[in-house]
Amino acid sequence: MTQNPSPLLELQNISIVPKKAADRLLVNNVSFSIEAGKTTCVVGESGSGKSLTALSVMGLLSKQLQLISGKVLFNHAGQVQDLTTLDAESLRKIRGHKIGMIFQEPMTSLNPVLTVGYQIGESLTTHLGLKGERLKTKIASLLEMVGIPPSRANSYPDELSGGQRQRVMIAMSIACEPLLLIADEPTTALDVTVQAQILKLLDELKTRMNMGMLFITHDFGVVADIADNVVVMFRGEIVESGTKTQVLNNPQHPYTQALLACVPDAEGKKPLKPIDYAWLPENQTPAGVIA
Ligand SMILES: Nc1ncnc2c1ncn2[C@@H]1O[C@H](COP(=O)(O)OP(=O)(O)O)[C@@H](O)[C@H]1O
Ligand SMILES: [Mg+2]
């Protein structure tokens, strides 16, 4: 009998509370996994706990918050390690090396006074010790990989378009060939055409590098484009998960059905049908959902 190999990343029973309000579960018992070479999309409306879940993987929760339960099992270098048990120094070695990250706002994550080439090179020097010509060559090949002319290495972030800055962020995040890429709404600030290009690029890189991807979005259109597996979050909890086909074609939970009913059709029209929240406890209507 062949043994079922461990997934690349497995979150087990993650719960997060504010330190000052320990009974307020911002993330409640969240479990899911990511396979190498596959994308798991975490989808849900704003405030549902998606970003906190991602930050907990990297040990980057703010000091006001506390992880009160859970494991983050990361399968690398032939062993499975619980990242929640690592000290700050060990986590720093994994971040930006084995696990890459990209966020929504490239302008706030890029340093305006350093060239993009320098910024792409930083993690290559820190984690892999690359210097001189080898470093230059690697930076050029990374820029090429994300579709930016290598001559742009000497440009500053404000000399690039929004889409190019996000490409630079992608180059930085994949520089050390991470096993896992965490992307938190990386295309939300971009216009639709550029968003489609960036999604295509991430999908290609995932396949080429056999990376696992944790992709966070509030947009089911993006899920349809990029997901292999889908986790639907609502108010800090997973209400449904499965393969993309299962969740998009045959949603089981009323919340998923309601969100999917809001996705514009091919002509960009939203159906007029209001969301039915009758399934919610005490019949509360969640704020922020387009009904
Ligand atoms: N530092 C914090 N202190 C208290 N509450 C927080 C803090 N950070 C986030 N939250 C709350 O946690 C919930 C989940 O946030 P988040 O994970 O950012 O949601 P999402 O990414 O799905 O929009 C939200 O209600 C948010 O207000
Ligand atoms: Mg978020």
Within 8 A by CB and 6+ apart from 52, the residues are: 16, 26, 27, 61, 65
Cβ atoms of residues 49 and 26 within 8 Å: yes
pTM of the model: 0.90
pLDDT of residue 104: 76
What is the per-residue pLDDT across 43-61, written as a single tens digit (0 to 9) for each? 999 999 999 999 999 999 9
Which pLDDT belongs to residue 277? Answer: 65
Query: How far apart are alpha carbons 255 and 259 in whole angstroms?
Result: 6
> Tens of pLDDT along 258-281?
888 877 665 555 554 555 666 676
Q: Which of the ligands is closest to the CA of residue 234?
A: 1
Using one digit for the tens of pLDDT, what is the confidence trace for 86-108? 999 999 999 989 999 998 765 56
Ligand 2 centroid–CA 27 distance in Å is: 12
Q: Tell me the per-residue pLDDT of 116-153, one tens digit each, with 9 for 90 and over.
A: 999 999 999 999 999 999 999 999 999 999 999 999 99
Question: Which residue, by CA, sits nearest to atom 10 of ligand 1?
Answer: 26
Which atom of ligand 1 has the smallest separation from the CA of 184? 21
